[in-house]
Amino acid sequence: MAIHETAIVSSEAQIHPTVTIGPFAIVEDDVEVSEGTRVAAHAVLKNGLRVGARVAIHEGAVLGGTPQDLKFSGAASRAIVGDDCVIREFATIHRSAMPGGETRVGRSCFLMAYGHVAHDCVIGDSVIIASYVALAGHVEVGDGAFISGGAAIHQHSKVGELSMVGGGSKVNLDVPPFVIVDGVPATAVGLNKVGLRRHGVSDEDILALKLAYRTLFREKRARLDALEIIGAMKNARALRLAEFVTQSKRGVCRARVR
């Protein structure tokens, strides 16, 4: 274990011997850090934080901070960061506001500088959250989603897997999987074809999703009729899109008016 002499690390924290901790970093009592993780200068790891293996925590990041929730009672809770994540400068992740609850960031996520993940968020695997993104409390983000810089996501909203949120967008409804949304308020502008191909989605599935997107967002059909047509495609990813829309409690982002 390599801990800089100026770092303040609680003797009660559980730190794997292969962890490195830089100058002036602070690690509080109830913290666990797994093998190969690097904690840079001035980072702060607060009570209730659990950090996976091979995580890169950059300068000034604050992980496990007290939730910004007026109803928070001070009860014990957790923030969990999965293996192989990158947390850049001054990013913040707050622990749950619920007694015994969890804020969770999955594996291989990239949280860029000044990004904020609020209490009780659930972030999937391989998610990219760009600089100055603000995720309010209880937001859910699916695997492989990309949230561009400066976007703001309303509390309790869901961002579907392999979707993309454009820079500076205001998201106050759910973002369907596989779709690009953009603007204030965010509206659906197309299928995330680049992201789908980067994640190895087949041409057959992309074609089915194109048809499903057109049916749902471009053709002037009643929502139930559109979902029935998508269901008849019997393509797993198209069915997932229909399922997400059907189960959305907030409602999904609407199509941009041409």
Q: Which residues are catalytic?
A: 119-120, 137
Write down the number of H helices and E strands in the chain: 4, 28
64 forms beta bridges with none
Listed in sequence order, the residues at least 6 apart from 22 whose beta carbon sits closer than 8 Å to its beta carbon are: 4, 7, 38, 39, 40, 41, 42, 43, 59
C-alpha to C-alpha distances, 144 to 78, 193, 199, 251, nearest whole angstrom? 23, 13, 8, 21
- Distance (Å, rounded) from C-alpha 141 to C-alpha 163? 9
Give 19-64 as a DSSP string.
-EE-TT-EE-SSEEE-TT-EE-TT-EE-TTEEE-TT-EE-TT-EEE
